[in-house]
A = this chain, B = another copy of it.
């Protein structure tokens, strides 16, 4: 066994084991040359490069990230900050962002904020602390004024969610409106007349956009939405369940179809129906929005939110910004996709 102590943390010489200086000594060259090799500079003879690489190999050298970042003034790291949201959502965005980031040798610093002040604080720290080269921000609850200010800092900012007027930031979002329109049109095309809509919480950007899409579709088909069938939900499964339960308990008859503006609420509806021995699409057709994993398992027709693409696209924007390749479009709107499953399939 070695003579070092058992406690992993007790490291008397806390200084990094192998440095450029060590490598340069070993190779009989200067630190500048070593650095050049590290950075793939073309100004090193092949022979010299070999010597350096060999020395690195032998000493087990790995460059110190902080030192490089300090000297180069870049971290090769992207910040990604999420509000405290559904795992199902952020994880997909993260996967997407990471795909592209990895291809460009960028690392991801991820943070979740649980409340607004904490979120604002994190954003500031990331933007001004030189911790990251750019920040991808999902800013559900940060106000526009703050965002505008943040966007004026030294660090490029990419927003995922809603656009902020006059902010020097790129926005990546999805077309909620056309997505809802797709779903609604799908129902109308199938010949459903009495269609109920379970809205999202009032004042939420996505919810409002989706609701607009519903009205657009209705207008396009020249139908009138029954105000009694416009229900206010919360985006949680409970609300879908409770709305339908209450409706049925009141002895009212089911509509032909229900469009819940997100999947959890649609699943809530499904549960309420199941409890009463009712089924989909026999007793009522059902569409959700987002295409969360469970939607597939449950055969729920829905509109796929391009979450992974949102992450990719945000990362793509960052890369372009950092590359400084001239103008970067300041808004990218990704399309949704209608996914038809059993819950709206005409019966045989």
Contact = CB atoms under 8 A, between A and B. Distances in A.
Copies in the complex: 2
Interface in A137-186: 154, 156, 168
A260 to B, nearest CB: 13
A195 B98 CA distance: 42
Contacts of A11: 154
A282 B62 CA distance: 61
A192 B73 CA distance: 66
A297 B65 contact: no
A237 B322 CA distance: 41
Contacts of A293: 88, 292-294
A21 interface: no
A271 to B, nearest CB: 7
Interface in A300-348: 321-324, 326-328
Interface string A62-90: 11111101100101010000000001101
A250 interface: no
Contacts of A253: none
Contacts of A328: 8
B110 A14 contact: no
A87 B91 contact: yes
Given A62-B129, A112-B98, A131-B65, A8 B168 contact: yes
A70 B73 contact: no
Contact of A91 (B10, B91, B298): B91
A109 interface: yes
A348 to B, nearest CB: 13
A111 interface: yes
A46 to B, nearest CB: 24
30 contacts: A6-B327, A7-B327, A8-B321, A9-B321, A15-B73, A16-B130, A16-B154, A63-B129, A65-B129, A65-B131, A66-B66, A66-B69, A66-B70, A66-B131, A87-B87, A87-B91, A87-B92, A87-B95, A88-B293, A91-B94, A98-B111, A107-B131, A109-B109, A110-B110, A237-B297, A267-B297, A271-B297, A292-B293, A294-B298, A297-B298
Interface of A: 6-11, 14-17, 60, 62-67, 69-70, 73, 75, 77, 87-88, 90-92, 94-95, 98, 102, 107-112, 114, 118, 124-125, 128-131, 154, 156, 168, 237, 267, 270-271, 292-294, 297-298, 321-324, 326-328
Given A6-B327, A65-B69, 9 more contacts: A10-B324, A62-B128, A66-B67, A107-B109, A108-B110, A110-B110, A267-B297, A271-B297, A293-B294
Nearest first, the 6 closest Cβ-Cβ pairs linking A and B are A91-B91, A62-B128, A9-B324, A66-B69, A87-B91, A65-B131
